[in-house]
Amino acid sequence: MKKLLPLLLMALALLAACGQSLERKGDNFLKQAENADSEARRQILEKNAFDSYRQALQNAGEDASPELVNKFVYATIIRLNNLKGSAGITHNIMTPLRGMVDDRIDADYIESRLRDKYALFLVEYADTLNERNNLSKSFIHLNRAMDIAADQNIVQSRYDELKGGYIDIQLEKAKKYFAEATEESEPNIETLLKADYAVQVVLQLDEENETARDMDAQITPMMLDTYRAYQRVYPHPVRAGLDTTIYRAIENEPIFIAIKEQNRRGNTLTLEGLIFHSEAGFKLARLQDRFFTLHLEDGETLSPSDSEFSSRTLEIQSEEEFSLTFNGVTADPVKLTYACEEDLAKSTKRLK
């Protein structure tokens, strides 16, 4: 053991030196970038600095110094601005940033100017996404900018402006889909879902929006009636203590689980549906609490026509988990995931 100790200390020293060496490399790349003779060369050197700081930060882990984290955030902002127009920017750059230092960006040792620079980048990137009509991602980045900005004024006005435009566009979507859904005597489930989605997005942003509230009052009973016509609706008692999951969950009052669709791949059974209160189809909570997908490891392949299907029951286990009982056997709890607009567009096509 005594013989191994010097080797271990040497290895730790080498690892620390490697981290310091990478940090120095990053410093040198940024200095060279300041004197680069072309834009292309400058961006290459800035990318090298970003890569060096990122590797140094990974090597250091929780022991990374505030100075190194500051350098990495600074290099990341430069890299992000260089790639602002790239389609892969969120996956390639922003995900590693969130994974490594997002919890530290809010910390006291991150300089406020860097937090504001990062927030400004997010605002500008939100503009880029907005121009591509990708309003959902645009708003996500604006929300993040609001969270991290040391000076809230640098993002507040742009946030309010984009929020207003986002609401207007979602309302137009809701009106369009609602008109299409009600053209025939029987509502079209696909377009009614899309109309309901758009309305709920607006109500998340502006609970007092009269147009959205009026449309919600019309869509709610239609949604429940349409699901009743399509598949069975399953009553289920709500368990107490889950306010964050089902907003104002009321103990021992029944809700409806309206199963929209099920699909099996291998041993995974996927159920998608909506959650309703039993009285007049009142929809519990907001959008993210009503659309759900259950992924269950199960050897059975079932369809709504199977006589046993109605014996399946959903049990709320926690804020993020359901379990499903079939023929008296309860499966292990399964994760609750939410459907997004793109998921709905794909899944509802299979309902016809």
| pLDDT tens per residue across span 304-316 | 333 333 333 444 3
CATH topology classification for 21-151: 1.25.40
> What pLDDT, on a 0 to 100 scale, did the predictor assign at position 31?
92
Beta strand 329-330 pairing with 321-326: antiparallel
49: exposed, middle or buried (Cβ count in 10 Å: 0-12, 13-18, 19+): buried
Residues in the chain: 352
Beta strand 292-297 pairing with 334-337: antiparallel
> What pLDDT, on a 0 to 100 scale, did the predictor assign at position 200?
74
Cα–Cα distance measured from residue 323 to residue 18, given in angstroms and rounded to the nearest whole number: 48
Domain boundaries, the chain: 21-151, 164-226, 232-351
CA-to-CA dists, residue 120 to 54, 86, 154, angstroms: 21, 17, 7
Q: What pTM was computed for the model?
A: 0.49
Contact 298, 306 (CB under 8 A): no
> What pLDDT, on a 0 to 100 scale, did the predictor assign at position 334?
34
Contact 294, 312 (CB under 8 A): no
| Residue numbers of the chain with a pLDDT score lower than 50 | 1, 7-9, 11-19, 91, 228-352
> What pLDDT, on a 0 to 100 scale, did the predictor assign at position 70?
85
Other beta carbons within 10 angstroms of residue 121's beta carbon come to 19
Contact 131, 107 (CB under 8 A): no
**Distance from CA of residue 270 to its chain's centroid?**
20
Contact 148, 115 (CB under 8 A): yes
